[in-house]
Amino acid sequence: MTQQQGPRRPGFSTVTPYLIVDNAPALARFVAELFGAEELDRTLDDDGRLRHASFRLGDSMIEMSSARAEWKARPGSLHVYWEDVDGCFRRALELGAESLHEPMTMDYGEYGAALEDPFGNHWYLARYLGD
């Protein structure tokens, strides 16, 4: 067994989004299909529900699980820097997301769009344009 080097799991940053939704397997498919996120691990409960999954999306991680009695569904919000905001926005709509606002240039130096996925999470897609 290797010795732990600090409090973080290797490959993870200090803060990692953790989404709890009613249908985590469907959210896992959404994240994998939309962003090409790499699934790192998946653990199921005895009843087959997704207990935990971790995904690598670029240089970041996202974790998720299915809601249960003691862990209620809690939609989250994520800001994702992405090269092709327009293409990602269109693909998200094809995967069942709803537009919160279409891609546009923001006054804070980003080109961005906002979506709500089928699970209630908000995704803010952006490409940095500079100051």
pLDDT along the chain (131 residues), means of 10: 71 90 96 96 92 96 95 95 97 98 96 97 96 74
Q: What is the pLDDT of residue 21?
A: 96
At 2 the pLDDT is 57
Q: Which pLDDT belongs to residue 9?
A: 82
Contacts for 80 with CB less than 8 Å, ≥ 6 apart: 35, 57, 123, 124, 125, 126
**According to the model, what pLDDT value does residue 130 have?**
86
Left if phi > 0, otherwise alpha if psi is -120 to 50, otherwise beta: which for 109?
A: left
